[in-house]
Structure 1
Amino acid sequence: MASAAPGRAGTDRTVRVRPPAALTAVGLFGGVALLVPFAALVAGVDLARLPELLTSESALEALGLSLRTAFLSTVICLVLGTPLALVLTRVEFPGRNLARSLVLLPLVVPPVVGGIALTEAFGRRGLIGEHLHVLGIEIAFTSAAVVLAQVFVSLPFLVVALEGALLTRGEAHERTALSLGASPLRTFFTVTLPLLVPGLVSGLVLSFARALGEFGATITFAGSLQGTTRTLPLQIYLERETDPEAAVALSLVLVVAALVVITVAYGRRGARA
């Protein structure tokens, strides 16, 4: 009898505890409430005109610009966000909590506020922009402004994902490598970085998705110039006024892209749960 108890305890750990029926019903209602608008979006697409709407010159131009800038923004997030997450997680310095809050600030402020802040910093009369203007460098209302706006809003997603991975993994493997004589840089590339791959992939995918769907900061800081700064979200906004069916079709493209991104980022995590 004494030996049976541990066996039952071990088995019990694999059994999921179901929530009360009332909470399950409320949860299902919440899920339906989220899904209904997307279902309505799919139902509102004119399938007969869908190929025409998605292959128009303006739509393809906006989609191409969105993909190019989102990809470049994600690369910049990788280069900047990985060291930043390491500093915030592994380096002790006064005001670290405040620094972390400032890094995550773009997650909570309205994107249009971010666009105004970018204009005040990099606009022609901005804090940094006026000095760049003297050198003949213009950022606002260019494709570079689109990339800068996307990096501003998507970088925190990568930092959050990497911070979580770093805190979960701990420092034992790095300490072992350092004790064996590996340099800090070699330790990072041969030990730390491989351990961070799952969190890094999730962070990059989410950063790309956020950059692809960015609207408020982009239109405020970069404007809406066809072929230069008019990304797909901006194109959808304009089509909504002139051709609602085109706006619905292009919105569906972004929804499908977001669904793919979420599946890639969290599919494995859900399978392991």
Structure 2
Amino acid sequence: MWTTDEIPDLTGSVAVVTGASGGIGVPTALELARHGARVILTARDADRGRAALDTIRAAAPGAAAEVRALDLADLGSVRAFAETVDGPLDLLVNNAGVGPMPRRTTVDGFETQFGVNHLGHFALTGLLMPRLLAAPAARVVTVSSDAHSVGAIDFDDLALDRRYGRFSAYGRSKLANLLFALELQRRADASGAPLLSLATHPGMTATGIMKVGVLTRPLNALLRLAVQPPAKGALPSLYAATSPEARGGQYVGPGPKVLRPSPKALDAAVAARLWERSQELTGVRFWDIRQHS
């Protein structure tokens, strides 16, 4: 079984981990820093960000880590953060996310789960693409979920104005994450760009994504017994981010082990259409990886 002891020496590499102020983001950033990477943690809440940074520095004295502000629900914040990243970027972990909630909208008017989980990370990855392609062998790891299998992309109702369900909206956002990760790898492969894009499923983990309060009392009790600690939930992301055995286009789940996504996540036509719509909605057009050769 793969463990963090197998993470290679990352000295000299630079990593960005979104949502690193809680959940699996903290152990993800910690292990990257512990193994020598310079890690930029992002946090929407400054106090939580500082607390996470203190945790990492206490566990890994001398770790090269810092925290910067990023709110994925605000494309202005995404652009402002991206401008702070200079030099080659070896690793981007699109980890942040929100879970099932009543219908809300982002600063830019997008349904929140789709806007934060997918569009915010789509825009961030696009804005950082020149930095990623400046690295010799960059990786982009996007955290999805097995909930993607119940999601559906309705291009006639991306705002979910006609029908909204908090859990179906969450599944849709996770499906979008997986479609994006696989399409990014297709485009990198077509151009010969030295980039690996992988998606992960952490498994049922004790994080803030799933608010147990929305469930019945018996289900809450079962959920608390079933969930794993964040350090274990971070293993798929860490494997995808660092293992020499990892391959672009893989979907890595608990174990860690490579999983097969649902057929809907493998629909290249839907992925390409979602890519184009995401560019239109965010105003972010990727540095043309198709011509990177």
TM-score (normalised: structure 1): 0.25
Name whichever structure is richer in strand by fraction: 2
Name whichever structure is richer in helix by fraction: 1
Greater relative contact order, per chain length (Cα 8 Å cut-off, separation 6+):
1
